[in-house]
Amino acid sequence: MHLQKTQTTSLALFCKVVDNYGDIGICWRLAKQLEQEHGIAVTLWVDDLLSFQRICPEIAIDCDTQKIAHVTVRHWRDQDAQFAVDEIADIVIEFFACDIPPAYIGAMAARTPRPVWLNLEGLTAEEWVEGCHTLPSPHPRLSLTKHFFFPGFTNKTGGLLLETRLEQQRQAFQSDRAAITDFLMQLGVTASEMASLKVSLFCYPQAPVSDVFEIWKSSGTAITCLVPEGVASHAVETFLGREAIAGATATRAALTVRVLPFMPQPDYDKLLWACDLNFVRGEDSFVRAQWAGRPFIWHIYPQDENLHHVKLKAFLQRYASELASVLSFSLAWNGATEHAVDWFAIWASLLTDRQKITDRSAAWQAELLANGDLSSNLLKFAGALR
């Protein structure tokens, strides 16, 4: 592809929200970074503006086209829209093998030069991704080739999403007591809660939250569990004895549970930075917890026949092979143990290992940073295909 130097590269990113917030969370983060750090003209096509609005309140849900943070956001309503060749971007990304509209693909094939077409896959620590990353997949009929692009934890993958200034922002925030206090106060966290062990909780409904609450109640340390609205609602309501809406709180013995509003994506990062321990889930919050430099426990997205346990173990083997406490707690939290769980013992050992886990976080971050960041890796790969 021979673009004049002055011409801005355009990129279309197609996002289908399968469920929850991770699909749009990842695509939005990628879109913003490509636009803001690499000067790419990004159009983000998304089929579910309501989910988008939860993590980005500026989104208008009744708008076909809008510009947010310089990114053009298009409501992807159906597969029937028609597209002219000059509407096709230089780089086209489908997230997680979503089917982009047939007319868009037809116009891609008619365009000269052809766009670079990538399928951005889901994150897994399993070894096979190294063999599949960047593999071509020729279209069965048209003169177009799609390439697979896998995020990952090694230098034979595309790496992880990471904004250039994130580390600097995190360090500035974590070393500024007043900023942390202000942030938590705005969320309704009281002074005594701030002085306790602060745990953020984001997990799927299957997580054994009530078991862990029982242990935390009898803990020798005061614990405040900060849980965004809509998360682990059943266990949280049982604990509170009332509806788990933002602002609801209760203290029982050593444990305070406080329900937070579901917050905009940048604030969720701050929450991870402000807490002593983070429970995260899925893909995007899981990655953000790794950049937060604080101990974290991952609740993996559940799959049929416990396929997710394989993925969980693949990650733990890379990240926590020397951290028995993280291994035991993570397996128990994800229902991946064969024997009865002694929550008291595995929590005690996690708590004892806090410093060791924090040290590991820093070393782990250094390993990840050596792989480069996903946006830059993706553009480098796209550039080589052009």
Nearer to ligand TRH, 23 or 353 (CB): 23
The β-bridge relationship of strands 145-149 and 136-138 is antiparallel
User: Is 23 a residue of the active site?
Assistant: yes
Instruction: Write down the least CB distance from residue 283 to ligand TRH, Å.
Output: 4
Question: Tokens for 9?
Answer: 């590269």
At closest approach, how far in Å is the CB of 139 from ligand TRH? Answer: 25
- C-beta closer to ligand TRH: residue 11 or 227: 227
CB closer to ligand TRH out of 148 and 301: 301
Count other C-beta atoms under 10 Å from residue 365's C-beta: 16
| Least Cβ distance, residue 288 to ligand TRH (angstroms) | 7
Query: Minimal distance in Å, beta carbon 306 to ligand TRH?
Result: 16
CB of 308 to ligand TRH, least distance (A): 9
Task: Tell me whether residue 55 or residue 332 sits nearer to ligand TRH (CB atom).
Answer: 55
**Catalytic residue, candidates 35, 48, 94, 283:** 283
Q: Which run of H or E residues covers position 198?
A: strand 197-201
Q: How far is the CB of 96 from ligand TRH (least distance, A)?
A: 7
Q: Tell whether the torsion through CA atoms of 109, 137, 125 and 21 is positive or negative.
A: positive
What sign does the dihedral 52-58-62-63 (CA atoms) show? negative
Distance from CA of residue 223 to its chain's centroid? 25
Q: Please name the residues in contact with 114: beta carbons below 8 A apart, sequence gap of 6 or more.
A: 1, 108, 143, 144
What φ, ψ does residue 264 adopt, rounded to 5°? -60, 155
Q: Which is nearer to ligand TRH, 282 or 295 (CB)?
A: 282
- Cα gap 190→247, rounded to integer Å: 11
283 is catalytic: yes
The C-alpha atoms of residue 219 and residue 35 are separated, in whole angstroms, by: 47
Nearer to ligand TRH, 21 or 296 (CB): 21
Q: Dig out the tokens for 164 from the structure.
A: 């250039």
DSSP state of 373: B
Q: What is the DSSP string of 127-153?
A: THHHHHTT-EEE-SSSS-EEEEE---S
CB of 35 to ligand TRH, least distance (A): 17
Residue carrying the six token digits 């013995």: 253
Residues at the site binding ligand TRH, with contacts judged by CB under 6 A:
18-23, 25, 55, 122, 202, 228, 262-265, 268, 281-286, 301
Q: What is the C-alpha to C-alpha distance for residues 366 and 371, in angstroms, rounded to an integer?
A: 9
Q: Which two tokens stand for residue 143?
A: 């003169």
| Nearer to ligand TRH (CB atom), residue 20 or residue 181 | 20
Cα gap 370→195, rounded to integer Å:
36
The two beta strands, 91-95 and 65-68, are unpaired
Which are the catalytic amino acids?
A: 23, 283
